[in-house]
Structure 1
Amino acid sequence: MKILLIQTAFIGDVILATSLIESIYKKYPSAQIDFLLRKGNENLLQEHPLLNEVLIWDKKNKYKSLFELIKKVRKSSYDAVLNLQRFGTTGLLTAFSNSKVKSGFKKNPFSWAFTHKYEHIITTDLFSPHEVERNSEVLESIGINEVARPKLYPSQSDKDKIKEFIQNDFICIAPTSVWFTKQFPLHKWIDFIEKLLLNSENNKILPQNFTIHLLGAPSDAENCQKIIDTIETKLKESNQNNLKFKVEFKIENLAGKLSLMQSAALMEHSKLVLANDSAPLHLASSVNAPVCAVFCSTVSAFGFTPLSDKSFIVETQKELDCRPCGLHGFKNCPKGHFECAESIKTEQILEVVKSIL
């Protein structure tokens, strides 16, 4: 059986889609599985041991790349094309795929040409399904009814790259997000780290020689450095006031220094990964690392929560009529107060850290 999976959205969406690779392999271990994604995300799957080929759609050369892919897909004669994307371009490709099974979501403008169509509904209902469960609906078209956990496979070179960073116990923090309203504020991360490190009878948490790794893209390096610089300033002030930090520690800015798969390899050894409602939380889940997700403007009911065996969610305890304000977040708080984030107590995150360490 030859199967093509399509997910041309963002990093987190591709990671969640790997759940289907696991389910297909379990049911059909001899199947040839290919995966189509957008240019820029290919490093996530290029060395995936269960995939035959990774197809790349170059969105900058949108239609030229699309028509080349349509030719390639038609020539490949897939038995099934499973489309997780809900936009017209991938719907067109699915419709013209020449596949016996064309499976996707009703929201796709070309779903009229699919052989199997499924609902994809995101709500704020408390017991709404996870995105992995919604995606797995399309597997029914090829006789699969089980839901697997997303999984990534860091290569040996990825593991070799991070060896120098795993000599001591550590946690990872991915403090940034593309969307302002999905990002726990930097001053809140700083307050959390300060409380974690201060020599207080109430916060004897960390072992000696502990490291905090700050993770992110190259564009996140500046904000990560701001966190480190502020903490170092506070450390000097505390020493001047005869206060002491509890442990020998270091904070390391790895933003832009590790690839996504190298970050995943690092997370696999982490005592805990702290992240916003963004791709790093799914990266942590993909290697079953303990993970705590901080939800600001979005809510867990949307179905993008962590899936690791040890998963935690921190969010405001206040009832806010404006939350959630949207599925993807905004560049600024629509109300101007950002209370969904500002009202989260850093002690809530500390309690998670205590329970893990």
Structure 2
Amino acid sequence: MRIAIIRLSSMGDILLTSPVVLALHKSYPEATIDFYTKDTMRQVIEDHLGISRVYPWNCSSNNGLEDMLDQLESLQYDHIVDLQNNWRSKRLVRELSGKIHRVNKEGIRRRVLVGLGWNILRERHVIRRYYSCISDFCISPLEEKIALPNTDSTNLTPPLSPETLATDFIVWAIGAKHFTKRLPVSIIAKTLQSIDHHVILIGDSSDCQNAQSIIAHLPKKHRVTDLTGKTSFLESVELIKRARLTLANDSVMMHVASGTGKPLISFWGSTTPELGFKPLSNHAKLITAPKRLSCQPCHTAGRSSCPKKHFNCMMTIEPGIIVESIDDALKEL
């Protein structure tokens, strides 16, 4: 049996497909299971158990999508699992002969939640929506747990010195794709001023300026290490695996942390857990504005700016609450 899974983006959504990959692998251990995604996203899934091969879409090529279509057609899959369900994925599968299984993203119901505040979603978590579309041929039950990439062979770069990894530390993943999903720099800095733990800041190159602003607001003798823009995705995963605690926005790193089984604190602004992306962990503390705002959630994925101009969904989160949550999480260890 040959199975193709299509999820082109984004990193968090791709990581959330891992329970479906595992269920298919357990159902058909001898099957070939290939994954189709953007070339910039392949590292999220290619080391997962059950994946035979990742076929990347070369986004920088004008013919990248057509090349992926040719690859799909040539391999003659028995089942094509479309977990993207947009015009690109529909273009890829429309002429294939295998049976197509397409996720119901409940787009209208999610927009009702955003626009009216009514939660009428049938499936409350996205992994259940993913599993629903393969339930007619997947034998194994869904395990509601994130399967993390294998980082055993990851070569750590110089910033990740043995001395750094040997000490007890907290990871704070300060980034997120959209502005309205990021906890403001001022709140992070005030929180760090109030704790005495070794904290490692992680993020991609777009987070470096925010990290520098955070560091600038700290006393000279602080215990914060800035590794934003200095670690690969797999190195960041390894850091989170070794951390005592992770703090993260609604982002791929939040889902990575949920897969470790260790304490996690997540922050929610323009998106809310009701949309179906809350961390799959019994050790997660979810922090939102102290008073639920009528404008929450304001988008299904996040925005580049606050449409109300006040950003109170994040700005009203008190550093003291975060400090208290950190203390409570570390007491559990």
Alignment of 1:244-283 (within 5 A): 250-283=223-256
Q: For the residues of structure 2 that align with 1:119 and 1:326, how far apart are their CA atoms?
A: 12
Alpha carbons of structure 1 residues 193 and 343: separation in structure 2 relative to 1, 3 Å: same
User: TM-score, normalised to structure 1's length?
Assistant: 0.83
Higher Cα Rg, which structure: 1
Contact 2:172 2:248 survives alignment (8 Å): yes
The aligned residue for residue 257 of structure 2 is 284
Partner of 1:74: 73
1:32 — aligned with what?
32
Q: CA deviation at 1:48?
A: 3.0
1:321 deviation in Å?
1.4
Say whether 1:154 aligns with 2:141: no
Kindly provide the CA deviation profile for residues 73-102 of structure 1, in whole angstroms up to 9, marking residues without a partner as x.
Answer: 122111111001121121121222221x21
1:138 aligns with 2:138: no
Tell me the C-alpha RMSD between the 2 structures. 2.2
Structure 1 residues 130 and 3: alpha-carbon distance in aligned structure 2, compared to 1, 3 A threshold = same
Take 1:289 and 1:139, find their aligned partners in 2: how far apart are those partners? 30
- Alignment of 1:125 onto 2:98: no
Q: Counterpart in 1 of 2:210? A: 223
One-letter amino acid matched to 1:232:
P
Q: Which residue of 1 aligns with 2:93?
A: 94
Separation in structure 2 between the aligned mates of residue 195 and residue 126 of structure 1, nearest angstrom: 41
Q: CA deviation at 1:145?
A: 6.4
Choose from 102, 105, 116 the match for 2:103: 105
Q: Distance in 2 between matches of 1:155 and 1:120?
A: 38
Distance 1:49 1:120, change over 3 A: farther
Q: Does 1:60 align with 2:47?
A: no
Gaps of 5+ in 1: 108-117, 198-209, 236-248
**One-letter amino acid of the structure 1 residue matched with residue 91 of structure 2:** L
Query: Would you say the 8 A contact 1:139–1:145 is kept in 2?
Result: no
Q: Any conservation in 2 of the 1:70–1:97 contact (CA below 8 Å)?
A: no
Task: Sort the Cα spacing of 1:106 and 1:309 in 2 relative to 1 into closer, same or farther, 3 A.
Answer: closer
Aligned length: 319
Instruction: Give me the whole-angstrom Cα distance separating, in 2, the residues matched to 1:106 and 1:325.
Output: 21
**2:16 aligned partner:** 16
The letter of the residue matching 1:172 is V
CA contact (8 A) 1:34 1:53 kept: yes
**1:20 CA drift (Å):** 0.9
CA distance in structure 2 between the partners assigned to 1:56 and 1:293 by the alignment: 30
- The CA distance in 1 between the partners of 2:227 and 2:95, in whole Å, is 44
Moved over 4 A (4+): 118-121, 159-163
Aligned to 1:166: 165
Q: After superposition, where does 1:185-200 map in structure 2 within 5 Å?
A: 185-197=184-196
1:72 Cα deviation after fit = 1.5
SS at match of 2:102: strand
Aligned residue runs from structure 1 range 170-189, under 5 A: 170-189=169-188
Label 1:13 to 1:267 Cα distance change in 2 as closer, same or farther (>3 A): same
CA distance in 1, matches of 2:155, 2:44: 14
- Percent identity between matched residues is 26
Paired letter, 1:212: V
1:324 and 2:324 aligned: no
Q: CA deviation at 1:351?
A: 2.4
Contact 2:289 2:316 (8 Å CA) reproduced: yes
Provide closer, same or farther for how the CA distance between residues 9 and 335 of structure 1 changes in structure 2, counting only shifts above 3 A.
same
Which consecutive residues of structure 2, in runs of 5 or more, have no partner in the other structure? none
